[in-house]
Amino acid sequence: MVCRLAGAVGDFDIAILLAPDDPDPHYDRGLIYAEMGDSLQAIDDLSKALELDPDFVEAHYSRGLAYRDLGELDKALDDFDAAIRIEPNYGIAHYARGITNLNREAYDSALDDFDAVIGLDPDNAPALRGRGVALGGMGRGEEAIKDLGRSLDIDPDSSEALMARGIAHASLEQYNLALADYTRVLDLEPANTRTLFNRGTARMRLARYEGAVDDFSAIIEIDPDNAGAHMARGFANTLLGDRPRPGQRRVVAEQGHPVPGPGRAGEGGARLRRGHPPGSRRPLGSPGQTGCS
Which pLDDT tens digit goes with each residue over 40-72? 999 999 999 999 999 999 999 999 999 999 999
The whole-angstrom distance between residue 268's C-alpha and the CA centroid of its chain comes to 8
DSSP H helical segments within 70-208, as ranges? 73-86, 91-103, 107-120, 125-137, 141-154, 159-171, 175-188, 193-205
Are 12 and 28 within 8 A, CB to CB? yes
Which CATH number belongs to the domain containing residue 194 in this structure? 1.25.40.10
Range of the domain at 239: 139-262
- Structural domain contains residue 1: no
Work out whether the CA dihedral 227, 134, 171, 148 comes out positive or negative. negative
| 145 DSSP assignment | H
- Structural domain contains residue 53: no
- Structural domain contains residue 73: no
Query: pTM for this one?
Result: 0.80
Work out whether the CA dihedral 69, 73, 75, 79 comes out positive or negative. positive
- Structural domain contains residue 183: yes
pLDDT at residue 12 in the model = 63
Are 204 and 235 within 8 A, CB to CB? yes
**Rounded distance, CA 3 to CA 15, Å?**
19
pLDDT at residue 282 in the model = 38
pLDDT at residue 10 in the model = 64
In this structure, the number of other CB atoms found within 10 A of the CB of residue 192 comes to: 19
**Rounded distance, CA 184 to CA 13, Å?**
48
pLDDT tens track for 244-265? 444 444 445 566 666 565 443 4
- Structural domain contains residue 75: no
Q: Which residue type is seen at 82?
A: A
- Structural domain contains residue 13: no
Number of domains the chain contains: 1
Residues in the chain with pLDDT values less than 70? 1-13, 242-293
